[in-house]
A and B are shown apart, each in its own frame.
Chain A
Amino acid sequence: MSAELLVRAPIDVGALLARVADAGVGATSLFIGTVREHNDGRAVSGIDYSAYDAMAERELAAIGAEAGERWPGLRVAIVHRLGTLAVGEASVAVACAHERRAAAFDGARYVVEELKRRVPIWKREHYADGTREWVDPTAVAVAR
């Protein structure tokens, strides 16, 4: 793990992949989360992402280190974008590289799930009707 974890400009996926590239790598998995045009039946036109920057960087670095312990040799790169994003833009990208594909796949899944569970980042959706609301994934889970 190194390099920037939070950015306010479009995510450079090529640069992310370069961070995990290595001659010993035989498998690289890349996860990209993007802003979709609907959520829970409402038309979404964009999302504002904000964070507790210092703690988010600390948690992202910790998650990367944990993945490296669970899958020895795993190379991890994570970047999350903050600010206002349009539909289709990438909000997060995770690249994991390993000698073998199982660790590359499983490591990326671990990083993304932990990121969603504990990294202090929030999003406020903009709806087609002009309203904006903070998204509470726990409330959605209860409503279902």
Chain B
Amino acid sequence: MTVTVLLFASYADALGHDALTLDLPPGSTVGDALHAVRARSGGDRLPPAPAMAVNERYAKLGDALAAGDAVAIIPPVAGG
């Protein structure tokens, strides 16, 4: 199944992209998507357990993904 990964701020700089497309096996989790991104060039600059979101809501690494989901890796927020 295909999911989109959104990257922001320092994480987008680390990967050199602000979005990636991943092809993952059915039943994959948020953590699996993170693992795939961390295996990419520059992905080792991401922390092992950053905040994650699926379809604009915070998610846990064990949450299951569905085809077409938008997975976001959220750097430490600094609004205000």
Contacts and interface: CB of A to CB of B under 8 A. Distances in A.
A98 interface: no
A103 interface: no
A66 to B, nearest CB: 14
A121 B78 contact: yes
Contacts, number: 72
Contacts of A124: 9
B56 A58 contact: yes
Nearest to A82: B79
Interface residues of A, number: 29
A85 interface: no
Interface residues of B, number: 17
Interface of A: 33, 49-52, 54-56, 58, 80, 91-92, 112, 115-124, 134-139
A51 B74 CA distance: 10
Contacts of A122: 8-10, 75, 77-79
